[in-house]
Amino acid sequence: MSKFALVTGGSRGIGRAICVKLAQEGYQVIINYASNEAEAKKTLEMMDGNGELLSFDVSDAAQTKAALSDWQQRHPEEYIEVIVNNAGIRRDNVMALMPEEDWHRVLDITLSGFFNVTQPLLPAMQLNKFGRIVNMASVSGLKGLPGQTNYSAAKGGIIAATKALI
């Protein structure tokens, strides 16, 4: 039986490094990406094929549920035992000049994405009495930084949700 890990935003940067490390540790890594399939494929190549690609926008609850449900149907005897909630964006600007869309997009991907991915995968972790959830945060979520009201709110929400989930 294989061990599976899902890394949201796994196609580039920190997410890519996490995917590669998890593959080295023996996990079949599910690389989530929203739009950059070419970079996701590069990540998969760096992992020597120890995984698969799974495209969905974490901010879209229906799309996320459908993708995770489809994965589970293709792997009926398996479950995702590690979740790395890494997907996130920054749209820095002082709040007085921040477009409403930038506020919502940052919170939707980072904070709603955490919920949309984690909530449907928790029951299998509970049933199997094992699971690990890693939520990527930032110092911005602890102390807030000028020009990052939306990002700080999203990362602060992740920190609080992580503490409450324990």
The mean pLDDT of 1-6, rounded to a whole number, is 92
Which position has the token pair 């990540």? Answer: 43
Whole-number CA gyration radius for the chain? 16
Using one digit for the tens of pLDDT, what is the confidence trace for 58-67? Answer: 999 999 999 9
Reported as a pLDDT band with limits 50, 70 and 90, residue 103 is very high
**What pLDDT, on a 0 to 100 scale, did the predictor assign at position 18?**
98
What pTM does this model have? 0.95
pLDDT above 80 (res 133): yes
Looking up tokens 């799309």, which residue turns up?
63
Report residue 41 as tokens.
Answer: 């494929």
Tell me the percentage of the chain whose pLDDT exceeds 70: 100
User: What is the Cα–Cα distance from 94 to 110, expressed in whole angstroms?
Assistant: 19
Taking only the tens place, the pLDDT of each residue in 19-28 is 999 999 999 9
Report the distance separating Cα 119 and Cα 151, nearest Å.
22
- Predicted confidence at residue 1, as pLDDT, reads 74
What is the pLDDT, as a whole number, of residue 49?
85
Q: Which residues does the annotation mark as catalytic?
A: 151
